[in-house]
Amino acid sequence: MVNSILILSLMSVISGFFILQHVKKKSLNSRWHSLPAYYAWFAVLWMVVPALCLFFFSSVLHLLHLYDVGASFLIPSTILLTLWGTWRGLKQINPELKARESVEKVIRVSLVLAASISILTTIGIVLAIIFEAMQFFHIVSVWEFITGTHWAPDDATDGNTQGMFGSIPVFAGTFMITIIAMCVAVPIGILSAVYMSEYASEKVRNTAKPALEILAGVPTVVYGFFAAITVSPLVVKFADAVGLHADYTNALTPGIVMGIMIIPFISSLSDDVIRAVPRSLRDASLALGTTMSETIVRIVLPAALPGIIAACLLGISRALGETMIVVMAAGLRPNLTWNPLEGMTTVTVRIVDALTGDQAFDSPETLSAFGLGLVLLIITLMLNVLSIYVIRRFRSQYE
């Protein structure tokens, strides 16, 4: 397969070159519609495309298990198609042929195909998750999944799944850690943005902003290591000092570290929207004798609010879907509690745990990962739509 593709492309390059020379020589003394290279491309496309179509269809048939086209058929038919295509292409080459238009049409079609791959990816994610999640919800009822308070997929056997797949504790852990993260990230992020855009000199701003963005570029597995090895013992020690007991897998640790990770997202986006607030609004307010802080709190921040809210929503969706920090620093045990010093688990932890074990692919535990993934997908997409809506709905107010 790989070899034949290589041979095919080599052949097309060589023959494209010959066709180019041929057409160049011919078009010297007569008037041709397009530049010589376009005739070469035209011929090459005729040579390659029919064979590629055959490849594509046979692999689709193969993947759908409809019909297996054997190599003994594929190879001679590819050669025949290539020869036929070359002959057709060459025969059409003459001064009247609008080669450029045909070639550009093909280019346009391939651009459209490339653009639709992004749609295919989204559809692929949605279908893959929904399809497997449906299988899961055949075994476990949706109602039980949403309202159950006991998550114990390890105890579930094929026949007995009653009361083992209640997702409330898993989601409670996720939201708890997300809330802690936002408590760290939102105030620090917004205040940093205010300082950078309103008070700081250009020099300070030009060093502070990229420095903060380094925090955003650090891989999450590194944050996970940092949380598990450094922050978690600190939290436990601190809790001991004030007379509280903390688990090593407490929810506070991943929450704090995740908050640090999200600071640059919020500060960077907020900085941009705060700077986009027109100068005249500030000047008008300051001219009335307000202090800087009054101007910022009463005038600038309200004007920038939609953008800031959108930034926070983005931060929340990051926190909900964050995986490595919680896998390494949060617990595995689903735990329904308000105490952030206890171990808790999250949706992403359970997904990783369910899919890295050695269960069969159609076991209830493996499928439960797709159920959780579906909910995560829906929440993230809703947050995204909401943030777009907030920006669109309130943006024009001050412009």
Residue 170 gets which letter from DSSP?
Answer: H
From candidates 28, 66, 96, 114, binder to another protein by CB under 8 A: 114
Q: How far is the CB of 399 from another protein (least distance, A)?
A: 20
Residues 81-110 that bind another protein (CB under 8 A): 100, 104, 107-108, 110
Shortest CB 366 distance to another protein, Å:
10
Tell me how far apart the alpha carbons of residues 94 and 360 are, in angstroms, rounded to a whole number: 62
244-272 as b/e: b if 16+ CB within 10 A = eebbebbbbbbbbbbbbbbbbbbbbbbbe
Instruction: Tell me which of 142, 218, 244, 288 binds another protein, using CB under 8 A.
Output: 218
222 sits near another protein (criterion: CB under 8 A): yes
What distance lies between CA 121 and its chain's CA centroid?
A: 10
Residue selected from 152, 168, 292, 309 as contacting another protein according to rule CB under 8 A: 292
Q: What type of residue is 106?
A: V
* Residue 208 dihedral angles phi and psi, to the nearest 5°: -70, -40
- Using CA atoms, how far apart are residues 194 and 188, in angstroms rounded to an integer? 10
CA distance 41 to 207: 50
Kindly compute the dihedral angle of the four CA atoms of residues 93, 98, 103, 104, in this order, to the nearest 10 degrees.
170
Nearer residue to another protein within complex by CB, 81 or 260:
260
Element (H, E) at 299: none
Q: For residues 115-174, which are near another protein according to CB under 8 A?
A: 115-119, 121-122, 124-125, 128-129, 131-132
The answer to whether 341 contacts another protein (rule: CB under 8 A) is: no
Q: Is 264 strand, coil or helix?
A: helix
- Name which position in 54, 74, 239, 355 contacts another protein (CB under 8 A): 355
- Listed residue (145, 143, 201, 198) closest to 171, CA to CA: 145
Q: Minimum distance from CB of 98 to another protein (Å)?
A: 11
Q: Report yes or no: 85 and 50 within 8 Å, Cβ to Cβ.
A: yes
Q: Which of 251, 330, 351, 390 binds another protein (CB under 8 A)?
A: 351
Smaller CB separation from another protein, 92 or 384 = 384
**Is 288 a residue that touches another protein (CB under 8 A)?**
no
Shortest Cβ 215–another protein spacing (Å): 6
By CB under 8 A, is residue 6 in contact with another protein?
A: no
Hey, which residues between 236 and 255 contact another protein (CB under 8 A)?
none
Residues 6+ apart with CB under 8 A from 145: 137, 165, 166, 167, 371
258 neighbors 346 (Cβ within 8 angstroms): no
Give SS3 for 151.
strand
Query: Least distance in Å: CB of 95 to another protein?
Result: 18
Does 235 bind another protein (CB under 8 A)? Our answer is no
Q: Which is nearer to another protein, 63 or 143 (CB)?
A: 63
- 9 sits near another protein (criterion: CB under 8 A): no
Q: How far is the CB of 250 from another protein (least distance, A)?
A: 18
Q: Which is nearer to another protein, 162 or 291 (CB)?
A: 291
195 binds another protein (CB under 8 A): yes
Per-residue binding letters, 253-272, with another protein (x by CB under 8 A): -------x--x---x-----
Q: Residue 152 corresponds to which tokens in the numbers above?
A: 């114990």
> How many residues of this chain bind another protein (CB under 8 A)?
85
Q: Please, which of residues 12-71 interact with another protein by CB under 8 A?
A: 63
Nearer to another protein, 21 or 207 (CB): 207
Which residues in the 366-385 window bind another protein by CB under 8 A? 369-370, 373, 376-377, 380-381, 383-384
Contacting another protein (CB under 8 A), which of 81, 176, 180, 196?
196
Structure tokens at 352: 């990783």
By the 10 Å C-beta count (0-12 exposed, 13-18 middle, 19+ buried), 369 is classed as: buried
As given in the structure block, the two tokens for residue 298 are: 């009463």
